[in-house]
Structure 1
Amino acid sequence: MTRLQPAPAWRDRLRAAAHAPPLRPRVPLWCAGERIGSVEPDLFGRAGLAAGAVLRADAARGGWMLEGEPTASLAHIAEVLRDTGLAHAWRDEQLAVRGDGGTLVGTVERAAVRPLGIATHAVHLTAVDDAGQVWLQQRAFDKPTDPGLWDTLVGGMVPASDSVEQALERETWEEAGLRVPQLRELRHGGRVTTQRPFAELAHGYVVEALDWYAARLPAGVVPANQDGEVAGFRVMAADELTQRLEAGEFTVDAALILLAAYGA
């Protein structure tokens, strides 16, 4: 495949979109002495969550301290945010919660990670065909995040129960109907990160690491969505892919990964 060569101005816009400060001030969310996220100062007040069994104001360092057993306290907070319309789409999926130092402190419902500014982990697969064209998916138009935008062939969150490799295997089947042995020349390509406001919730903030893998789909191997979260698939040559990237038709995450994988 010809290497992607998007305009420098587009690269600058992508970098700015991928690493942008919050729209409004945020304060730390602490647990056992480690910062695990951030929130808008009045979020818990808006949700009717007063200081008590699960939260207390941290006057010494600023922000809020999680009280009690972390997973149980985060579950209570997530439910209150859901019931007051301050959470994202509820998924019944637990994600790992780690401190800035990497210590695992507990898990939390996926719907609460953006309001709480909790760092997440995702995995993506980008793939080419035998001619070097890039296989891509268009996200379903009813997806709660980035509906209808173009994306890598496969992408999804890494839940607390999975390793990165397990998440890649599961997502590759659910989103593209492919098994890992069908992928040729599969390799871990790298990791990109993003920190930016969350478009779907004004009080949300994205902090995410994305591990990406690259592979080749041989002739006759065609993706077929299994979970209803993909509108369709197609291959794009470098010129079309560059044009659509510059037109803003891709998610920020996909643009970062495609540039890392195929950018000149």
Structure 2
Amino acid sequence: MSESIGRFEMLLSRGEAHLLGTSEVGLSLTTPASRPEVSVNSSFQIDANNLLEDGNGLECHSPPLCLTESKVTFLSLGAFSPSNIGHSKLPCTQLSFGLQPARTFCENSCTSVAINGEPPMSKFMNLARKFNCFYFNGDLQRCRPFLVCGKQVGVMQAKVVEAACRYPDVFQMDSSGMISMHPSLKTYEERSARINHVLTQWKEERLFVTLKGWRNECYEVRTGFADPPLLKMDRSAACLFGVRQYGVEINGYTRHPQLGMSLWLQRRALTKPTWPGKWDNMVAGGLSVGHSVLDTALKEAEEEASIPAYLLANLRSAGSVSFYFESERGLFPNTEFVYDLELPADFVPHNSDGEVDIFELVPVSQVMERIFTPEYKTTSCPTTLDFLIRHGFINSDNEPRLPELVELLHIPLHYLYSQSSSQSPISPN
């Protein structure tokens, strides 16, 4: 076991590793640009009750602040390959969708001046960077690919890798630094049972804050959306492994005689384990085991907003949005299947499952302001922006970077994870 941890400690920082003594527990990670050493062990083994709270005594769920451009990110690579990690000669051509990379990117930052003669980024573009904060700023030098059955299904941050190395019968690391579920776990049922055992122990140890929101509702892990599931895990734990998550969101709108085009928004109940009290789209829900996309949409519409079947007959599929968010809970490479539902002006939704505080009918002009406030759920903004674009409220006249904005609503998540155990990345120096 100590040999495995020792190898892990060297691999994480690749060419500039500090191999800690086997009596030491933590990790020492440095970047090629002589970043000061950081002890991962001291930063992640925090009692979940000691995390920052907001004014209501609830856990904050916001992107990391003040992330710098001096790291290897999905934006700089175009795709994640372990052979690139930790090598100072890596060519980092910025694939920046026409954007100039900021020296720092904070949650509350806003580029308000022109750069190199180009127009400044709009509030919409800054918002798109916010909900794609891991794509733009996620530090891949502190991550390892996560594979199941030889194919990459996720990304594990260093703090999760360190915890996983305590279970050599469940996880193993190869010489290139990729983490795999143990090959002896050959079936869906075996893999699901073993990872549930690990996650239950982590929850009891209060090791990761996200597990405080244990759902008793599982997500399935796949290499691609149409591929057979490889295992399932509790919904709250998916972000620890950076596995792609899928959900459904419904834009409920009406053409009100006084308010004009308006959207129904819900304010999430304060008892919700994530984003409590935040404004959200009318109906939203994760794609859990045993439910199709349409089944989930219909089920959530009935439970969250009590929409009768005769109105749901007007439900229209509007494609999907995808983004790559990061918070203190973990990594969220999310795809949301989007539906539009036009509702009569006299219809008022009401909640039946206790997950919604109130509903409010909001004119589009006010929605376009509310999405920029801290009271709006960040990861629901892509669906809202998508609606506003498709219905012409955001267009090339009021958003000069409209093509770039549309691209940032469709991050190619299914092409970012491309590693397999048959590949042979460059060995660490």
Q: Same fold (TM over 0.5)?
A: yes
Task: Tell me the secondary structure at the aligned position of residue 232 of structure 1.
Answer: strand
Q: Which residue of 2 aligns with 1:57?
A: 173
In 1, the alpha carbon distance for the partners of 2:139 and 2:276 equals 22
Q: Which residue of 2 aligns with 1:15?
A: 128
For 1:170, give the aligned amino acid: K
| Residue of 70, 76, 80 corresponding to 2:197 | 76
Task: Tell me the secondary structure at the aligned position of residue 236 of structure 2.
Answer: helix
8 A Cα contact 1:66 1:73, kept in partner: no
Per-residue CA shift, 1:18-59, capped at 9, x if unaligned? 222236721111111011212122425347x52422111122
How far residue 239 of structure 1 moved from its aligned partner, in angstroms, is 2.1
Change (3 A) 1:38 1:172: same
For 1:262, give the aligned amino acid: L
In 1, the alpha carbon distance for the partners of 2:153 and 2:288 equals 17
Flag structure 1 segments of 5+ consecutive residues without an equivalent. Answer: 1-6
Alpha-carbon RMSD across the aligned residues, in angstroms, is: 2.1
How far residue 184 of structure 1 moved from its aligned partner, in angstroms, is 5.9
> Are 1:114 and 2:239 counterparts?
yes
Change (3 A) 1:239 1:219: closer
> Are 1:173 and 2:302 counterparts?
yes
Change (3 A) 1:31 1:254: same
Change (3 A) 1:129 1:100: closer
Q: Which residue of 2 aligns with 1:185?
A: 314
| Residue of 223, 235, 239 corresponding to 1:99 | 223
Aligned residues: 253
Q: Which residue of 2 aligns with 1:209?
A: 335
8 A Cα contact 2:269 2:276, kept in partner: yes
In 2, the alpha carbon distance for the partners of 1:52 and 1:102 equals 30
Identity of aligned residues (%): 24
Change (3 A) 1:184 1:242: farther
Could you tell which deviates more after superposition, 71-80 or 157-166? 71-80
> Are 1:251 and 2:372 counterparts?
no
Change (3 A) 1:102 1:78: farther
In 2, the alpha carbon distance for the partners of 1:139 and 1:155 equals 10
How far residue 121 of structure 1 moved from its aligned partner, in angstroms, is 0.3
In 1, the alpha carbon distance for the partners of 2:144 and 2:200 equals 21
More helix by share: 2
In 2, the alpha carbon distance for the partners of 1:151 and 1:42 equals 31
For 1:79, give the aligned amino acid: T
8 A Cα contact 1:140 1:229, kept in partner: yes
Change (3 A) 1:184 1:32: closer
Q: Which residue of 1 aligns with 2:181?
A: 66
TM-score (normalizing by structure 1):
0.88
For 1:245, give the aligned amino acid: I
Flag structure 2 segments of 5+ consecutive residues without an equivalent. Answer: 1-119, 395-429
TM-score (normalizing by structure 2):
0.55
Per-residue CA shift, 1:46-102, capped at 9, x if unaligned? 47x524221111223x23110213222221222122122224311111111012585
